[in-house]
Structure 1
Amino acid sequence: MARKPVTWYIATPADGIIEMSREAGTPVNLSANVGKVIDHPNPCRNKWYDESRFSYFRMVKRVGEALEDTGIWPITWPVPLWIVEPLGETGNWSQRHYPYRLLSHQIRVIEETDACPALGPCGRDVLNVVQQQIPEQAVRWAADWDADPEGMRQREWNWEQCGGRACASGRRAESVALTMSHARRESAAQTWIEHLARRAVDQALADTDASMYAYSYAYGRAIGHAVAAQHQTRFDAYVLDALRGTGLDSPASAAA
C-alpha cells in the first residue's frame, strides 16, 4: 500500500516573510513565490548548524507544531500557514527529539492553507473562545477577584488542589492537558493558545482598574477555557470542567 505523501508546513507573519529571514537581513517572502522554487539566500556551510539567525529553511510535518520556533513576536492571530516542498539535501537536528521537523536549503512554495489546524483539530473552537468568550468573561473574572480577594484566593486554592468524583483538581487537569499536547505533537499549539488567551484578557481589561492579582486570576481562567477547547474531543467533563474552573463560578463551591 502506497504511503500517504508527507505535507510540510511553514508559518509566517501576515506579510508572508519568514521572520527569521527578516531578522537576518535576507527576507524571504513565501506569499510572493507561490508555485516557485526558493533557494536559501545564505545557507549554512556546516549542515545543519546555526551559523546565523537564518541558516536553513525549517519546516514541520505535524501541523500542531507549525507555530514552534517561528521567530514571530508578539504572538498574534491570524498567521499565514504555507505548504512547502523540501528540495535537494535535507537534514534534522535529531531524529529522536525532532522527528516531525525537516531542514533544507531549497523549497518550493505550494500554497497557503487554513491555519486553524495549527491550533489543534478544534482550532476554530479555540479561536471562538479566545475572540468571543474570553473578552466577555474576563471583566467578570477580574471583578469577582477584586470584590473578595481572600475568598477567591481560598476558592482558587481549593480548585487547584482538591479534586473529587465529579471533577479533577485544577493542577491535575492542567498536567494531563500538557501531556496530551505533547503526545499529539501540539505543544506549540498549546503555547500559542495560552499567549492568545492572555492577550485577550489584556485587551478586555485595558480600560479597567483591575488589580494585578485580578489579572493573574483572569489569565488562568482564560487559558483554562482555551485549552479545554483545544482538547474538547479528547477528555470528558471530569477534566474539561476542571480546566474551565467550573467550580470557581459555583456559589455552592464557595460555600463548601
Structure 2
Amino acid sequence: MARKPVTWYIATLADGIIELSRHAGTPVNLAANVGQVVDHPQPCTNLWFDERPFSYFRMVKRVGEALEDTGIWPITWPVRLWIVEPLGEAGNWGQRHYPYRLLSHRIRVLEETDAHRALGAAGRDVLDVVQQQIPEQAVRWAADWDADPEGMRQRQWNWAQCGGRACGSGRWAESVALTTSHAHRESAAQTWIEHLARRAVDQALEDTNASMYAYSYAYGRATGHAVSAQHQDRLDPYVLDALRGTGLDSSTADAA
C-alpha cells in the first residue's frame, strides 16, 4: 500500500516573508512565489550547520509544530501558513529528536493554507476564546482579584494544589495539557496560544488600574481557558474544568 504523501509547512508573518531570512538581510517572500521553485539565497556549506542566522529552509510535517523556531518575535497574530515541497538534498539535525522537521536548500511553494491549523486541531475555537472571550473576562478576573486579594489568593492556592470530585487540581491539569500537546505534536501551538492569551489580557487591562497581582491572576485564567479550547475534544471535563478554573469565579465560589 502506497504511503500518503508528506505535507510540509512553513509559517510566516502576514507579509509572507520568512522571518529568519528577514533577520539575515536576505528576505524570502513565499507569498510572491506560490507555484515557484525558490533557492536559498545563502545556503550553508556544511549540512546542516547554522553558519549564519538563515542557513537553510526549515519546515515541519506536524502542523501543530509549524510555529516553532520561526524567528517571529514578539509572538503575534495573524500569521500565514504555507505548504511547501522540499527539493534536492534534505535532512535534519537527527531523527531521534527532530523526526518531524526537515531542512533543505530548495523548496517549491505549493499553496497557502488556513493559518489557524498551526494552533492545533481546534485552532478556530482557540482563536474565538482568545479574540472574543478573554478580552471581556479579563476585566472581571482582574476586578475579582483586586476586590479581595487575600480571599482570591487562598482560592487560587486551593485550585492549584487541591483537586476534588468535580475537577482535578490546576497544576495537575496543566501538566496533563502539556503532555497532551507533546503527544499530539502541538507543543509549539500551545506556546503560541498561551502568549496570545496573555497578550489579550494586556490589551483588555491596558486602560484599567488593575494591580500587578490581578494581571498575574488574569494571565493564568486566560491561558487555562485558551489551552482548554485547544484540547476540548481530547480531555474529559475533570481536566478541562480544572484548566478553566471552575470554582475560582467569585459568583461560583459565593454560591458554594
Question: What is the TM-score of this pair, normalised by structure 1?
Answer: 0.98
Q: Secondary structure at the match of 1:112?
A: strand
Q: What's 2:103 paired with?
A: 103
Q: What's 1:69 paired with?
A: 69
Q: What's 2:165 paired with?
A: 165
Q: What's 2:48 paired with?
A: 48
**Counterpart-to-counterpart distance in 2, 1:192 and 1:147:** 31
Distance 1:93 1:254, change over 3 A: farther
Equivalent positions of 1:110-125 (< 5 A) are 110-125=110-125
Q: What's 1:60 paired with?
A: 60
Counterpart AA for 2:95: Q
Counterpart AA for 2:63: V
Q: What's 2:19 paired with?
A: 19
Q: What's 2:86 paired with?
A: 86
Aligned length: 256
Does structure 1 residue 201 correspond to structure 2 residue 187?
no
**Counterpart-to-counterpart distance in 1, 2:130 and 2:40:** 36
Query: How much does 1:252 deviate?
Result: 5.8
Query: How much does 1:2 deviate?
Result: 1.1
Q: Secondary structure at the match of 2:88?
A: strand
Does structure 1 residue 221 correspond to structure 2 residue 256?
no
Contact kept, 8 Å, 1:248 with 1:254, in 2: the verdict is no
Contact kept, 8 Å, 1:58 with 1:104, in 2: the verdict is yes
Q: Which runs of 5+ in 2 are unaligned?
A: none
Q: Secondary structure at the match of 1:67?
A: coil
Question: What is the TM-score of this pair, normalised by structure 2?
Answer: 0.98
Contact kept, 8 Å, 1:155 with 1:254, in 2: the verdict is no
Contact kept, 8 Å, 2:141 with 2:249, in 1: the verdict is no
Could you list the per-position Cα deviations for residues 209-250 of structure 1 after superposition, in whole angstroms to 9, with x for gaps in the alignment? Answer: 000000000000000000000000001110000000011015
| RMSD of aligned residue pairs (Cα, Å) | 1.0
Contact kept, 8 Å, 2:59 with 2:101, in 1: the verdict is yes
Counterpart AA for 1:174: E
Counterpart AA for 2:185: R
Query: How much does 1:253 deviate?
Result: 3.7
Q: Which runs of 5+ in 1 are unaligned?
A: none
Query: How much does 1:78 deviate?
Result: 1.1
Q: What's 1:185 paired with?
A: 185
Query: How much does 1:187 deviate?
Result: 0.3
**Counterpart-to-counterpart distance in 2, 1:74 and 1:215:** 19
Q: What's 1:241 paired with?
A: 241
**Counterpart-to-counterpart distance in 2, 1:29 and 1:215:** 38
Contact kept, 8 Å, 1:125 with 1:230, in 2: the verdict is yes
Counterpart AA for 1:178: L
Could you list the per-position Cα deviations for residues 184-215 of structure 1 after superposition, in whole angstroms to 9, with x for gaps in the alignment? Answer: 10000000000000000000000000000000
Q: Secondary structure at the match of 2:55?
A: coil
